[in-house]
Structure 1
Amino acid sequence: MAVQCWTDLLKSSKKTALIQDGKRKVHYLFTDGKEMAEEYDLQTDELIVRKWKSKSSLGAQGQWQTEVGEPHMATVASLESDGIKENCANPTFSRKDTNTSFQWRIRNLPYPKEVFNVSAEPAERCCIIKTSNKKYYKKFTVPDLDRSQLPLDCSALSFTHANNTLIISYKKPKEILTLEHELLKELKKLKGNSDGDVDCKTQ
């Protein structure tokens, strides 16, 4: 039922499509004023970027918040202009999905794989990364599961470590795969092209 609610929200949103730089770029405007922007690779149909923007309680436009993809460079640039430069040796957390898994990468973690413990906490609806040397701790959610109100499955979680990067994968449940397949079919009907935006409301 909850998956259906999220599907209905997606269908009722106002969608604008643009094909550019080998990507399918889609902008969603929801009835509550929230906006979502996505970018898909035209060759593989993989989701490259998903960002959200919502208005503040006073109605002012908020900043884009990255859910999938590298964090927006403007945020980094504004920090640097304020004289705050991020240490490039610090761990960086980002999400990059595949067609079958949600996937997160934490770079700049030079410890061996045995040091890491990655677990799903269904009661808290989050995943937790811990290290036995107490050098890194991270708690994060899977927004896609929350939106569709699907449970966290411990057996869907796995991780690997290479080149100072921890890669965490969560196998997408069949409900998510079905939803993404249906959505992609709808998005491909939007006749976006590089000459301009195309407006289309999904029936």
Structure 2
Amino acid sequence: MTDWFTKLKNAKKSCLVDNNLKKIHYEFNDGKELVEEYDLSTNCLTKRAWRCNKQLKEEATWDIEVGDPEPQYNAEDKCMIREDSSQPFITRRITKINLEWRIRNLPYPIEVYSVNVDQESFFLIVRTTNKKYYKKISVPDLERLSIPLEQENVTFSHRFNTLIITYKKPKKLIDFEKALFEEIKQIQPKNYGEGINGCNPS
């Protein structure tokens, strides 16, 4: 089994079930924390978030890798901080057979986009021929397992001002996810508390 699987298996774990979601909280020896949420009806990951050590007694924020970003609040007045709503932003989804990215607020026609793999790294390169948008998108799911990116697995479409990028999962990734979910099923939920005990990244 892979080093990443071993790291997950050896991490300190807690779990709860909330409605149809199973939430797993991992604590690693290097101080990092990971929260994953799985839809029990599909066995698919719906959210993955990371947090590093708290520094200077301040609350560290969660970095959302998969799923919708968490709302951010000003510590003084609790007002939500909003980015310019017209700026492109990326959200990630994972299905049984695909990795998916949605880049919203891209109004250009489908003909201007290209999505190419970077053979020397684990990035997808998104460009437009009108030079209005350029983005390097990491694919940590494959990087952790040292699975090279393949251009033939990439497809994309465009609708409602959103570029939808799909990467077909390699068999090695599908097999890894199946093995990991079998491990997760063995973790007994403890439905108590909030925050870490509740596996809640917000």
Q: TM-score, normalised by structure 2?
A: 0.86
Deviation, 1:193, is: 5.6
CA distance in structure 1 between the aligned counterparts of 2:25 and 2:187, rounded to whole angstroms: 11
**Map of 2:26 onto structure 1:** 28
Cα root mean square deviation, aligned: 2.5
8 Å contact kept, 1:51–1:67: yes
Shift of 1:28: 0.7
Indicate the residue corresponding to 2:16 in structure 1: 18
Q: Is this contact kept in 1: 2:71–2:80, CA < 8 A?
A: no
Helix, strand or coil: the match of 1:133?
A: coil
Partner of 2:101: 104
Distance, in Å, in 2 between the alignment partners of 1:46 and 1:83 is: 30
Q: Tell me by how many angstroms 1:87 deviates.
A: 1.7
Asked if the contact 1:20/1:193 (under 8 Å) is kept, the reply is no
| Alignment-derived partner of residue 51 in structure 1 | 49
Question: What SS is found at the alignment partner of 1:96?
Answer: strand
Q: CA deviation at 1:59?
A: 8.7
2:41 pairs with 1:37: no
Aligned pair in 2 of structure 1 residues 180, 135: CA closer, same or farther (>3 Å)? same
> Residue by residue, what CA displacement relative to the aligned partner does 1:95-137 show, whole Å, maximum 9, x if unpaired?
1111111110011111111111111011133111111111111
Structure 2: runs of 5+ lacking an equivalent = none
Q: Distance in 1 between matches of 2:38 and 2:12?
A: 18
Report the CA distance shift for 1:61/1:85 in structure 2 as closer, same or farther (over 3 A).
closer
Identity of aligned residues (%): 41
Counterpart in 2 of 1:128? 125
- List runs of 5+ in structure 1 lacking aligned partners: 199-203
SS in 1 for 2:2: helix
The corresponding residue for 1:201 is none
Number of aligned positions between the proteins: 194
Question: What is residue 64 of structure 2 aligned with on the other side?
Answer: 66
Matched, 1:150 2:147: yes
Counterpart Cα distance in 1 of 2:177 and 2:57: 31
